[in-house]
Structure 1
Amino acid sequence: MTKTNKTMVESLAEWVAQLEWQDLSAEAVEALKKRLLDSVGVAIGALEGEPIQAIRQMTETFGGKPLVTLIGGGKTTPVDATFYNGAAIRYLDYNDSFLAKEETCHPSDNIAPVLAAAEYNQISGKEFLLSLGIAYQVQTRLSEVAPVRKHGFDHTVQGAYGAAAGASKALGLDAQKIANAIAIAGTTQNALRVTRTGSLSNWKGLTYPNTAMGAVHAALLASYGITGPREVFEGNKGLMDSIAGKFTIDWSKEMLEHVNKTIIKKYNAEIHSQSSIEGLLEIRNKQKIAVEDIKQIRLTTFDVAYHIIGGGEEGEKKTIQTKEEADHSLPYMLAVAFLDGQVMPEQYEPSRINQADVQNLLQKVEVKVDATYSARFPQEMACRLEVETNDGTIYSVEKQDYEGFTTHPATWEVLLKKYETLTQKIDQKLANQIAATIQKIDEVAITEFTSLLGQVRVLNEMNEG
């Protein structure tokens, strides 16, 4: 049968194939470097996490041709490296986010698949950043026009298209093979939203690494001539028909600027909690309220925050026993922030989660929705915090954003401090070298960067050895 009009995936692939370094603005390049620094720090900070160690053990047990670097040492196949490195980036739930009206995603999840393809193909840092910018653009634009959460599917669905597009570009595929890679990935990676509802499991942090692994596999299959359904978007039982509904994107007119619309987490907490945590800490640090004097902590917020982490449609949030439940519970995150003055990885240790002080205080946190705040989202992350003491005094603060939001972007210096905090357990000379290489990554070969990631060792492991 002779092909007639180009399908959407073919138009997308043609756009990806013709993009060049000059299509990235200076602002986009800087934004990509910031998010790379942020994500690498988060990954290094996650290396001691039990799920990450379990995945490393599995990877080492089954092996694989040593082609692509694992953060923390060793090499394996591009597919397996994508899963492990992606899991490390995602595990702490501390990497960047993109807010659309009906969808939220974490575009830096694309670093692992694009980096694996880039190292395998031994491309330049410039080509890596371009490929990463493509992945960001595709995932975030699809999140805007084709939300899937309301249909019971996970936000990783749109990521399959972005990861495959970015990995294909890094592999140097032509337009036809790029289209096949995206089509294969998009057809096969449709995760259910149950991942993030009810009682949460390790899979919350592993869904995108699995999606990204599938996207790299799809790109490699396409590189060997395997084809995928060319009507993956608009065809019978395709994405529009089966999940998202009808939407349009003229890919030929797309820029690579959506990375500038992504936001970076100040606190190690689910993204929609960031402004509320900042607000509560402002009250805490100014008023010096004793915890035993607190009658109630009240948060009024926007609908998305309420439904995902506040006890709305995705389940109650006051029965907290695991890290995954804790970092998706506004009552827990606000309670632990007030008690400890911070929300960092140590606030999700089992010993901290199960302590009586935080378990008792989180029961005093009430979350409700305000329609005006909901209408202002995602341009703002508006909320109001009230702390009422036993004598009836009410302390309050209202927020519209936080440090790291699009209206209050984090500087390189702020992100470097976050990176330094997360990399305290590795050799500091190496940590500094990694950060410096990221800052000039457009001037080096990508293997210069990945070789540094392969030298990372957690210091207590080094001392034991």
Structure 2
Amino acid sequence: MNKTAVVNQTDQLLEEIAAYAVDGEITSKEAIETARYVLIDTLGCGMLALNFPECTKHLGPIVPGTVVPNGARVPGTSFVLDPVQAAFDIGCMIRWLDYNDTWLAQEWGHPSDNLGGILAVSDYISRTRLANGEEPLTMNDVLHAIVKAHEIQGVLALENCLNRNGLDHVLFVKVATSAVVCAMLGGTKEEVQHVLSQAFVDNSPLRTYRHAPNTGSRKSWAAGDATSRGVRLAMMTRKGEMGYQTPLSAEKWGFEDVLMKG
């Protein structure tokens, strides 16, 4: 293979995830039905968390009193926020009590953490469309996005162990959210590849806050942080921000060499 061909080659994983996020068809009735239960369960976890001041102190606009036209609503509250902050708030609520769904594989995680970004962006898209006299998203659209996020995070976790290298599993939340949300916002396959590259270059938090002697409350908002970051990167990409072709496989500087020990 000549040098030019190597330079122009995009990491295959980015291409596969992007193709699924944009063009993947969900034909399984069981998957959609399961996603409906996931939605109900996840919202229930978030609503219960609103009883705890340690959670609710994190919610709301960064600057009190901020008004966002066609903003995303945070369930169970009066907040209407920009979709990035709303994704954090919803993600924080969902994760706070450590009750939402769990997936155990080479890496573990909670794929419903992605609902922070999915619900925030769905509401933002729908309210913006309604303001422009257009049709909003349907709940079927939301359920399809949930299935895709679960599949992306879940399949990545099957054979890729982050925790063995001291990295936190919420990286896979950021990756899944960024891909699905970018597609929801109208992103092309190339744009989804771009945002995925940004998510991997962004890196992963350390697992420090999940282990003694440093165990702390960050573990309850880390997923909210990850899903909101996925939304932020997706919105930047939709504005034309570039991506990178080999964030995973680049020799010396790529994710695999730097963080996964090759």
TM-score (norm 1): 0.50
1:463 equivalent in structure 2: none
CA contact (8 A) 1:189 1:214 kept: no
Aligned equivalents of 2:225, 2:109: Cα separation in 1: 15
Report deviation, 1:245. 5.3
Asked if 1:213 corresponds to 2:216, the answer is no
Instruction: Please report how far the alpha carbon of residue 169 of structure 1 lies from its aligned counterpart in structure 2 after TM superposition.
Output: 2.1
8 A contact 1:134–1:165 mirrored in 2: no
Report 1:392-407 matches (<5 A): none
Q: Which amino acid aligns with 2:22?
A: A
| Higher RCO (C-alpha 8 Å, min separation 6) | 2
Which residue is equivalent to 1:97? 102
Contact 2:9 2:246 in 1 (8 A): no
Compared with structure 1, are the counterparts of its residues 245 and 131 closer, same or farther at alpha carbon in structure 2 (3 Å cutoff)? farther
Cα deviation per residue 1:400-450 (whole Å; 9 max; x = unaligned)?
xxxxxxxxxxxxxxxxxxxxxxxxxxxxxxxxxxxxxxxxxxxxxxxxxxx
2: CA distance, partners of 1:83 / 1:18: 27
Instruction: Tell me the CA shift for residue 161 of structure 1.
Output: 1.1
| Matched ranges for 1:230-309 at <5 A | 230-236=245-251, 237-244=253-260
Residue 33 of structure 2 aligns with an amino acid whose one-letter code is: E
**Distance of aligned partners of 1:189 and 1:70 in 2 relative to their CA distance in 1, 3 Å threshold:** farther
Kindly indicate which of the two structures has a greater share of residues assigned to strand.
1
Letter in 1 for 2:123: E
**Corresponding residue to 1:33 among 36, 45, 54:** 36
**Distance in 1 (alpha carbons) for counterparts of 2:73 and 2:35:** 21
Q: Which residue type is aligned with residue 85 of structure 2? A: D
Q: Distance in 2 between matches of 1:239 and 1:166?
A: 21
Q: Are positions 1:174 and 2:188 aligned together? A: yes
**Residues 1:77 and 2:93 are matched in the alignment:** no
Question: Percentage identity across aligned positions?
Answer: 23
Per-residue deviation, residues 134-186 of structure 1 (Å, max 9, x unmatched): 11111111111211101011111222211111211221211111111111122
1:88 aligns with 2:93: yes
Contact 1:24 1:130 in 2 (8 A): no
Task: Judge conservation of contact 1:146–1:245 (CA < 8 Å) in 2.
Answer: no
TM-score by length of 2: 0.86
- Compute the displacement of 1:33 (Å): 0.7
Describe the superposition over 1:84-109 as per-residue Cα deviations: whole angstroms up to 9, x where unpaired: 11100010111000000x32100000
Max radius of gyration: which structure?
Answer: 1
Distance in 1 (CA, whole Å) between partners of 2:61 and 2:83 is 15
Shift of 1:189: 4.0
1:44 to 47, 69, 76: 47
How many residue pairs match? The answer is 243
Structure 1 CA distance for aligned equivalents of residues 61 and 192 of structure 2: 30
AA aligned to 2:32 is V
Q: 1:182 to 1:201 in 2, by over 3 A?
A: same
* In 2: Cα distance, 1:48 partner to 1:152 partner: 32
Q: Output the amino acid matched with 1:12.
A: I
